[in-house]
Chains A and B, each alone.
Chain A
């Protein structure tokens, strides 16, 4: 440890003295503050600061993602092997999952990291730790069969257009990872939607009955005139299986259980807001109930799906826990968070049921709510100002 400290202080002197070295200072600074705790001293009138900082926030976010990460690597491998082997065991599945996941993750990390470094050097700022979370979230919302080039393009869009152009972490108005996914979704619809992209290696296999390997949500849209739940069970999608996450889907979205564990960590550590999650759950429950009651299942098959199935299908739980709660792109006022959550919940169920074009709607709902968040806040602030003026005139 002493050696590390000594090397770093030596290097620091070199950065101060040599001009040519200063260009890579942001990289050095990030590494330096990653390894050793900072000793910057308070300058203002508040002398004591809490040990709560952005680095620990981000590391808790990553800890919250670990259960999802481990499960999703396993499940991705499982879904890939299941095409040829009826019941693959844990270790081969996990290794296969790593084989699929690691190239995607490393591409995200390297390409996105390079962009971060370029912007940090240009701005003469330290590299922001927020990227570590974005780079972990992004691969988890991609289908396993995505190509490396597409991943590189997607993360470039996420980092450059959705985040850095607006000033970096904390100034972005939409969730960068979702922004990147939207870009891929609209640019390469063939690789992002469909029935056989969810199994790595399945694209080339024409012989399999692709409908049996589609995601439950995709499947549901075609099951007209029948008992939806029974039909889903016929295809092997029971509620328990979907809750645990042994179904095809984007790499990280399948398991509701691991998302609940993540939600508990995020909420107890006060990184994400319980208000957003509660608002979204409440609104989706209400919307779902109304649709179940009012709509004809013959026109829209999903309108007969009960609420607890919505929760475990598609990206509902993952999006709600890890994407909607992002404090930067969510509404900032407490009441605003409720409205923001309600908007997300309402949109998810409405779009899922009535939009037959796309299979899932979580990404669109959250992005739409992201864009509406400043408006929601503005309205609440306006009321606050009005209230203040009122007691001003009393």
Chain B
């Protein structure tokens, strides 16, 4: 096992850390799938409003690759298909009816998987929706299965504030994880890197990772981000591809293979300023945010912003939205509207810091060196951001833009005294680059 000590980083004090207690939630009446969770695909709808489907039935596939299916985690009746003003598919809502049952496949144990051929494994993964859990570098999108990656990074870390501790969940699911691991080894012959944050976790996975490289990343956030792991272990070179997946999602793949049908169970944390039961919850894919919040005894009187992700990096969600496919945390943050006299002059109290005000005004970049103190990559963020703002994509790519995804610059954005949103700028740059490449 190789150990990497990350020095450039910062652990933000998070007062609402979820308690290590797993609370199961009942199956909801309706679930929903946001199409925007699957970045990089052009969806082609396979179902209609009103059809009854079994659990694991493909809902839509990719126009470029018809075998690449995205499935319904639970059985039910399609309630509504929502499109935006450009007629682009946005959301699929399903009324749950457990009696309809699941789409059955052959049950595959660990030994069965060992005998699978590469083609069958790839086909199984595509047809049964397992590719929805993978993300690529560069661009952080659903992989194109025609080009195989040079390496697969499995992330079993947690370093962001209040993030789900994967070891806490996976200690009871090692068998499924092992199946999943064996399965992705069948899909590609690329190198596999399994990255953990603590020695305890490394010991936990020791048994199942006998022939897989385990790498320990210690130190402050972003030691748990895949971007950091890639940079330290196998930097992304020109025209290369890397896939990454979270260990909890690998468990879903393994469990689905073992059971023979899609395992819709997932584990999330819910925490934040207005949540009473900050804890771990066992729920299903596509769960409505409002239902989750209701079970956490939340106080809906004060104004709070719900985030799918962490306060440091996550998507804003409204009560009518559904859980993101790949994001395991829900956090809430106070929306502060009051203003203090000479507030900028007084040091903020620790517990008052947790609100989503900018705590300053937008200015040009003044403190040019602060970003690199929290970015453990060989990247000059200041110059990269300026190149993107200048629309100079060639320069931005030379400066390493493709090695990054917006989350890698979240800490820099947090610290920036000029309140510049580096993540948003990087996202713009990446979108532009994706169009051109």
Contacts and interface: CB of A to CB of B under 8 A. Distances in A.
B314 A42 contact: no
Contacts of A36: 339-343
Given A327-B366, A392-B238, A394-B237, A46 B312 contact: yes
A55 B313 CA distance: 25
A41 B338 CA distance: 12
Given A50-B359, A53-B360, A170-B363, A45 B423 contact: yes
Contacts of A128: 363
Interface residues of A, number: 57
Contacts of A45: 309, 313-316, 406, 410, 423-424
Given A4-B341, A270-B370, A391-B235, A39 B336 contact: yes
Nearest to B411: A46
A37 B341 CA distance: 6
Nearest to B424: A44
Contact of A49 (B235, B338, B345, B358): B358
Contacts of B360: 38, 49, 51-56
Contacts of B398: 385, 388-389
Given A48-B414, A167-B364, A53 B344 contact: yes
Nearest to A48: B311
Contacts of B417: 52-54, 56-57
Interface string B59-101: 0000000000000000000000000000000000000000000
A46 B410 contact: yes
B333 interface: yes
Interface in B316-355: 316, 333, 335-345, 347-348, 353-354
B344 A40 contact: no
A313 to B, nearest CB: 30
B415 interface: yes
Given A55-B344, A167-B364, A42 B410 contact: no
B378 A384 contact: yes
A57 B345 contact: no
Contacts of A5: 339
A300 to B, nearest CB: 37
Interface in B192-220: none
Given A33-B361, A39-B339, A57 B366 contact: yes
Interface stretch (A101-109, A332-340, A362-370): A332-340
Contacts of A48: 12, 161, 311-312, 333, 353-354, 356, 414
Contact of B361 (A4, A40, A47, A170): A40
A337 B367 CA distance: 13
Interface string B1-34: 0000000000010000000000000000000000
Contact of A51 (B312, B359, B413): B359
Nearest to A172: B364
B392 interface: no
Nearest to B403: A388
A328 B353 CA distance: 28
B403 to A, nearest CB: 9
B399 A328 contact: no
A270 B235 CA distance: 31
A337 B336 CA distance: 39
A52, A126, A333: residue with the most chain B Cβ atoms closer than 10 Å: A52
A385 B365 CA distance: 22
B281 to A, nearest CB: 21
A167 to B, nearest CB: 7
Interface of A: 1, 4-5, 33, 35-57, 59, 126, 128, 130, 167-171, 270-271, 273, 327-328, 330, 332-334, 337, 377, 381, 384-385, 387-389, 391-394
For the complex of A and B, the 9 pairs showing the least CB-CB separation, nearest first, are A37-B343, A53-B360, A170-B364, A332-B368, A36-B339, A55-B344, A48-B311, A392-B238, A44-B421
25 contacts: A37-B343, A40-B358, A43-B424, A44-B413, A45-B309, A45-B410, A48-B311, A48-B414, A49-B413, A49-B416, A49-B419, A50-B415, A51-B359, A53-B361, A53-B419, A55-B360, A56-B345, A56-B360, A56-B417, A170-B418, A327-B367, A333-B380, A385-B399, A389-B398, A392-B238
